[in-house]
Structures are given as C-alpha cells and as structure tokens.
Amino acid sequence: MNYRVIKENDLFFLTDDKGNIPQENSYGLGLYTQDTRFLSKFDIKINGQDPILLSSSADENYMAKILLTNPHMEEDGELILWRESVEIERKRLIYDGVLYETLQLKNYYPKPVEFEVSLHVDADFTDMFIVRGFQFGDVGKKTGEEVTDRSLSYFYRGTDEVERATKIQWDRDAVSVKKEGVVAFKFRLNHGEAQSVTFTVSPEIDGESGTVIEPDAALQLLKGSYEKWESETTSVETDYEPLQRLVDRGIQDLRVLLTDIGHGQFPVAGLPWFGVPFGRDSLIAALQMLAFNPEIAKGTLLTMASQQGTKVDPWRDEQPGKIMHEIRYGELAATNQIPFTPYYGTIDATPLFLVLLSEYTKWTGDLSLAEKLSQNVDAALMWIDEYGDRDGDGFVEYHQESSKGIANQGWKDSGDSIVHRNGDYAETPIALSEVQGYVYQAKQGVATIYEAQGKTEEAAKLRDQADQLKRRYDEAFWMEDQEFHAIALDKEKKQVGTLTTNPGHVLFAEMLEENKADAVIEKLISPAFFSGYGIRTMAEGEAGYNPMSYHDGSIWPHDNSMILLGMSKLNRQSAANTVIHGLIEAAEHFEYDRLPELFCGYGTEAGRAVKYPVACSPQAWAAGTPLVFIQTILGLFPDSLNKTITLCPQLLKGMNDLHVMKIRIGKGYLSVKVTRNGEEMITTIEENTTGYEVVQKQLA
C-alpha cells in the first residue's frame, strides 16, 4: 500500500496516503512509541463521508502535507455540498513526543457553505510484535476513557504493570464528543474563507509524556534542529542532478531516523517497523556516514556499548562481550514473552562494532573514545575468540540457541538465504564469508589503535591473528573452479558454494590477494550479478536464485555500498562507478528518488526497477548508500593516526563537476572540488585545515 510516515526521535506516525488510520487495516497503521501503538484509529470524515484524495506528500520527512476535498453530496434531490467545494488540507509534524495535526478547511463554492467534520479515533495499545503478526501472548487491558470539552483520553494497564495512556486534544469547540471516539465540529464558511482546527496527540507512559506547545513554535523548533543538522553535515554540489537528488534525500532521511536513548544520536534501522536500536544496521549506517557526520558514529558506538552482553543467556542468544542485534520496549519484551530485551542473535554486530570504532578513529583521530570504550573493546575481542569461534577452527560461526530467536544470523537472515548450489539449505553452525572479513578488519583496526596507545604487544598479537585468519580464509573459502569465494562453511566445514555478494564485503577489509580481489570484482560486475540497476544478492543461474526473493537475487543498496567501499579502497574506481550508475538509475523509479531497503533483481530489460512489496522506506543503510557514492567517487580514505588523506577521484560518466565541502577529518576540515577536462580529472583542494598530507593516487 501507499503509506505516509513521519518520525521524530522515538515517536512515529504511520497512515494511509489520505492521512487516515482506518478502523480495519492490514498494514499496522498507527502512532507508535516504545513498540506500542498509541493510536489505532484516526479517521477524518466530512458530513460522515470519506474525503477524496488530491495529493499526498511526506518528502520533508518531519512534516506531511495531504490535500483532500469533499465528494458530491445530495439527499432526496436537495444539494447538501457541491463536489470539490471544500479544500481540506492536513499538515502534521512530531516534536518532543507529541503529534500535531492541523486541519484547514477552505470554501471555494461561490456561496457560504455549512458542513460537519468529524474525527474518529481509538487506541488499542497493541505491542508491535502482535501488530505485525509475529507473536501473540498475554497482554493487559484498557481501563477506561476520559472525556472533556476539548480532550479525549484512553487508558491501559499492561501485564508489565506499566500504565499507558493516549490523550487527544483540540483547540476548537466541538459540537459533540463521544467516549467511543467521535469528535464532531461544525463549520460555516463564506466564499474564500478558511478555518482550522489543530489536534495534538500525546502518548503517556507511567505518567510521562511530551509537552504540548503552540504548533507554529513546534514547527520552528523542528526546522531549527534540521538546519543545525545540515550545518554540521558535509555538503555536496554536483552538476549531475540524479546524484544530487539522491544525496540530498539520503541526508534528510538519515536525520529523521536519528534517535537518542541517552548515549548520543544514532540511526535506527528503518521505518516503519525497525525504529529501534539495531546492532548491525545502526553500525553500518554510521559507517556510511563517516564522511558526512562522524559524530553519529560516536553516538552509535556508545549506544551499542551500553547494551553489550555480560552473561550467557541462551533465551536471548546473549554471551559476554557480544553486541546486540535488536532491542524492543513493548509489553511482550518487558514480560519476557519475547527475548528482545535486547536480543543478541547476530554474528556480525560484534566485529562491526570494532570496525566502526577503528574507522571512526581514522576519520577523527579521537583516541579518547577508544580509551573510554577500552573494556568494551577487550570484551568484544574476547567474544570473537572464545564464543564467536565455537569450535576453535579460527572462524566465527553462528548457531541459534533461543527458541524465539533468528536461525540465520548474518545480514541475510531469512530462512532460505544460506543455500548450497544443489538447493539444500546449509545447517548450522555456519561461518559466513563476510563475517571473517569483518573480524580481520576489526583486528587490524584495533591493532592500529593499540599501537597509537603504546600497546605494542597487544597490537602484534592481533596482527598475527589477522594474518592467520587471512591464510585460513583463502584456503577454506576460495573456489578455484568459480574463481570466487563461497558464501559460507556449513556445520561439516563444507563450502556453501552458491555465488552471492557476501564475499564482496571482504574487499573493504583488504584481506584478499590482489589477483583474487580482481576476480571477485570482475564476477560481481558480470551479467550474472549486475542487473544494470545494481549487484544482485545472488547470481542469476544459481539454484536458489529468485529475483523476487528477500535475499536470494534481490538488490540491496547497502550491500552494494559495502562492496563499493572495498572497490574504492582497492582503487577499482571504474568498476565502482558502473555499480553507482546502476543504483542511481534504479532510484529514479522510486518515490522521492529514494533508494528503498531493497528491490527486485530484474534487469534493465524490465524497463524499470521493480519494487519489492514490503521494503522499509526510509531505511538507514539504504539512505546512507548515496553518501558512500560520494566517498567512493572521491576515493577518499583518511588516516588520522598517520596524518594522511588519500584521494583517487573519478567522476561518473555525464558528470563534470563535484564539489564536497567541510568534510570533517581530524580536528579540521577538507573541501575538495573535482572537475572533468576530457578524460582527465582535475582535483582542487579548496580547504585543508586538518594539517594532514593529501596523497592523490593514480587510477588503476
């Protein structure tokens, strides 16, 4: 369905494209915070009838605008309201835990008109997991309603002993208010006259709620926070308009996905269903944002550290030192009916935590954060060696322990994603190829930090472990007949030989010998993988290939972005630009030029990029992908610990100018401009207050 969603911090509002939450809907529309639905019905009617949709837009993310009008209304031959007489404009935003909606009605009929507008509301306080149909369990009950002239409140007591409430208020006298959830207003408008009513909806948890202020003041404060975000974020100007639109959209989407639970801002995974701390997704999105706002990486690392595992708990797949997968705050989680408090069933978040820390340090030179997180780093390294490597073979493997956990615990976590070339599903414990790359990169990165801290013995130990992993990985995962790496090793240590994108992530770790890295890159941009719109998760022709699947032939922008970082780091700019071109072309087929979480793997012969039915949008690591495009095009990789900045720019075809301003590196800024002169790329350093040497590499 076409939905509209706005979010600010931990509150988000999901409606249909008319702005309504009908009583019966299969998509889980509602107003949500803390994984609970605080509005399950929010429906506007005019004279008891549904308005007609004219336009619907939520392209600004923090504010939605919806334009409606009335249907033709007659009764027994008597005119009640001529069609399209009344313009109905809905404007909504969220600020400080409160939803604001202003309904403006304007008369375009040549004479005065009278009509009734009614709001139909309800709050069911349903847990997110029940809304989505994933779980059922013991829940609490509604404990009553409260009605005043200008408010309607619903109350609920959960099995977790938490008191929840929803308070709806309005700023205009109503002709009737019913506790069943109907609030009616009379309007009399002269020709050209407009009047309005503003509703506020405040979720309340154990007596705590946001503060209602004037809507205009809320809008100005919200706009101010966005302006501050933009001023603190690297800016991009290019003559290549499709890329400009994508980057602008990505920056806006990442802002709306930022949340702070007390440790600094970090990106939640995506809307509508994953507006929570999410280990892998939040870490990768923060990694994608390093060239634009490294402060987000700091908030992400501190948030993940705050929830790091401390004990062995099979119910939650928790182990000491492990970084969480996902945390939930609803009634089912609070009563331990689901293990998401948090749940730790992810094999890659722990090494990715260390990768992000090491990359953050390269960008910022901020060793104080590494020092602050030193115990978390030690615990994560311990987990990799003692718990991640379940059988002592040197590889990190996963195996589900929790009865309500996730079976496949890499980023391709659907049940059919790890499949042999004969179509059989691999059995756990499973060692994924990309996870070994993350571990290698983590140990090399932490070793660099240790060396800067004077911990030379610890650094040498990590480098030795990384070198051993590199050798073992090459021996165990390389498939000579395919000139590619296996996606995984199964419980028998047999290669899961299906050709997938997973080994492409290893490029960024710089763990592969040059000839094998080139072979992997060549395969990834071959027609079997590259659809013209992006690199498929699984190569066409494999037994498990399905272009309509979630993980077995679809295209995930973030998956491509991890590969792009590797291509660029290895100076394979031409291959990277091929992939970037495809994704930019795909984005033009989606609303607001926005890359979705994923889309189907059909090629350009289909005539357009084909939508996947239930993709999140906006989604953090999809929004971060265009930011990676810019870093990749520049070939930009700073090393603050060695005070160098590497550049290897190559503009896209049809692109003549790229201007990237105020890139935060170390304690200063870098601004760079790249222009095309025939096939030559002319790089101008317009500002460099970092004190670092800029080294420009030659194109491979």
Q: How confident is the model at residue 213 (pLDDT cuts 50, 70, 90)?
A: very high
Task: Give residue 325's Cα distance to chain centre.
Answer: 14
189 and 291 assigned to the same domain: no
Question: Radius of gyration (Cα) for the chain, nearest Å?
Answer: 27
Q: Quickly state the pLDDT bin for 24 (edges 50, 70, 90).
A: confident
Average pLDDT over residues 676-685: 92
Residue 669 is assigned to a structural domain of this protein:
no
Q: Are residues 375 and 492 in the same domain?
A: yes
How do residues 461-491 score in pLDDT, each as one tens digit?
999 999 999 999 999 999 999 999 999 999 9
Whether 399 and 508 map to the same domain: the answer is yes
Q: Are residues 503 and 552 in the same domain?
A: yes
Residue that terminates a domain, selected from 164, 191, 223: 223
Q: What would the pLDDT profile of 405-454 be if each residue is shown by its tens digit? A: 999 999 999 999 999 999 999 999 999 999 999 999 999 999 999 999 99
Whether residues 249 and 219 share a domain: the answer is: no
Look at 533-537, 573-577, 664-668, 675-679 and tell me which has the smallest mean pLDDT. Answer: 675-679
What is the mean predicted confidence (pLDDT) over 544-566?
A: 98
Structural domain count, the chain: 2
DSSP 495: E
| pLDDT value for 699 | 76
SS (H, E, C) 543-575: CCCCCCCCCCCCECHHHHHHHHHHHHHCCCHHH
580 conformational bin, left if phi > 0, alpha if psi -120 to 50, beta if neither: alpha
Phi first, then psi: give them for residue 621, nearest 5 degrees.
Answer: -75, -15
Residue 686 has pLDDT above 90, yes or no: yes
The full DSSP string for 196-235 is EEEEEEEEEETTEEPPP--HHHHHHHHHHHHHHHHHTS-E
Mean pLDDT of 494-522: 98
**207 and 318 housed in the same domain:** no
H-run or E-run covering 693: strand 693-696
Query: Do 244 and 170 fall into the same domain?
Result: no
What the block records as the tokens of 469 is 């992993």
In which band, very low, low, confident or very high, does the pLDDT at 271 lie, cut at 50, 70 and 90? confident
Identify the burial level of 74 via C-beta atoms within 10 angstroms of its C-beta, where 0-12 means exposed, 13-18 middle and 19 or more buried: exposed
* Confidence check: pLDDT of 678 > 90: no
Rounded to whole angstroms, the Cα distance separating 181 from 90 reads 20
Q: Both 170 and 133 in a single domain?
A: yes
Q: Are 397 and 389 in contact (CB under 8 A)?
A: yes
Q: Of 629, 647, 665, which residue constitutes the final position of a domain?
A: 647
Residue 139 has pLDDT above 70, yes or no: yes
* CATH number of the domain bearing residue 133: 2.70.98.40
145 with 252, same domain? no
Domain containing residue 505: CATH number? 1.50.10.10
By the 8 A CB rule, do 306 and 324 touch? no
Query: What pLDDT does 134 receive?
Result: 73
DSSP 507-538: HHHT-S-HHHHHHHHHHHTSTTTB-SSSB-SB
155 in a domain, yes or no?
yes
Question: Could you write out the three-class secondary structure of 148-182?
Answer: ECCEEEEEEECCCCCEEEEEEEECCCCCEEECCCE
| Per-residue pLDDT tens digits for 157-171 | 999 999 999 999 999
Question: Which range of residues forms the domain containing residue 591?
Answer: 232-647
Average pLDDT over residues 385-397: 97
At 1 the pLDDT is 58
452 in the same domain as 303 = yes
List, for residues 45-81, the tens digit of each pLDDT value: 999 999 999 999 877 777 899 999 999 999 988 999 9
| Rounded Cα–Cα distance for residues 3 and 56 (Å) | 10
Is residue 295 assigned to a domain? Answer: yes
Instruction: Decide if pLDDT at 700 tops 80.
Output: no
Nearest to 89 by CA among 67, 109, 106: 67
- Is residue 307 in a domain? yes
Residue 380 lies in a domain: yes
